[in-house]
Chain A
Amino acid sequence: EVQLVQSGVEVKKPGESLKISCKGSGYRFNSNWIAWVRQMPGKGLEWMAMIYPYDSDTRYSPSFQGQVTTSADKSITTAYLQWSSLKASDTAMYYCARRTCYDCAFDIWGQGTMVTVSS
């Protein structure tokens, strides 16, 4: 079964760092893009970034460039999204999603990782 399994709920304080994960299985992880999508509480979907695990080619939305970093470890078929210094405004659900080509649709989604940042 093709699936993306994300890491669990996170509760952090402002200024802390965080790295969440998305593990792919059941398909050729290296040759499919993984994207990250944010959904703030009660709001819509926002495309943040994506990575091609084969060569770690990355693309970022200007809105998120410099705020987050995406990476991938091919050996364990896992993609990551990380923050160096969280803000309260980073509180959101974060989804990873697979696309089989650069401009394909997202055909598989992870279950989401809820991140809460509060003092």
Chain B
Amino acid sequence: DIVMTQSPLSLPVTPGEPASISCRSSQSLLHRDGHNYLDWYLQKPGQSPQLLIYLGSTRASGVPDRFSGSGSGTDFTLKITRVEAEDVGVYYCMQPLQTPNTFGQGTKLEIK
């Protein structure tokens, strides 16, 4: 199985400040088609997960442009330019490249 490792696991952020989450995979997620098969999800408190970013850097429909994804191969980053109160929750990276698909442990973002 591909192991996904996120850091940090806890992320206290002041509103208006930037935030960054790292995700590393045990195998390359770069497909021969040129895409990186890495997705980011946010699970807000008491809600189902929602898709933020797919193929490493493409924002899902309706996702604010303060969210961005970058990286290639085995190292990926989710960045929030200016954190807002509604961004609290747990962020997960996931690889859809191989079954079983695997998630990172999750990063809990909280407001200071």
- Interface residues, chain A, with chain B CB atoms under 8 Å away: 35, 37, 44-47, 50, 59-63, 95, 97, 99, 103-107, 109-112
Q: What is the interface of chain B mostly: helix, strand, loop, or mixed?
A: loop
Contact at B60–A47, with CB atoms within 8 Å? no
Please state if A61 and B48 are interface contacts (CB–CB under 8 Å): no
Closest 6 CB pairs of A and B: A61-B100, A105-B54, A109-B48, A47-B101, A105-B39, A45-B103
**B103 — nearest CB in chain A belongs to which residue?**
A45
Known A-B contacts A44-B92, A95-B48, A95-B49; A107 and B60 likewise in contact (beta carbons under 8 Å)? yes
Of A37, A103, A110, which is in contact with the most chain B CB atoms at under 10 Å from its CB?
Answer: A103
Q: Is the CB of B96 within 8 A of A109?
A: no
Most B-side CB within 10 Å, residue of A60, A104, A110: A104
| Bound CA–CA A107/B100 (angstroms) | 18
Inter-chain CA distance A59–B48, complex, in Å, is: 22
- Whether B89 is near chain A, meaning CB under 8 Å from some CB there, is no
- By a CB distance below 8 angstroms, the chain B residues around A110 are 48
Contacts of A97 in B (CB 8 A): 49
| A61, B60: Cβ atoms closer than 8 Å | no
- Contact A46-B103, Cβ < 8 Å, known A105-B39, A105-B54, A107-B60: yes
Contact B37 A103 (CB under 8 A): yes
- The residue in chain B whose Cβ has the minimal distance to the Cβ of A6 is B48
**Other 20 A-B pairs with CB < 8 A, given A105-B60, A109-B50:** A35-B101, A37-B49, A44-B104, A45-B49, A47-B94, A47-B102, A60-B100, A61-B100, A62-B100, A95-B48, A95-B49, A104-B54, A104-B96, A105-B39, A105-B54, A105-B55, A105-B96, A106-B39, A107-B54, A109-B48
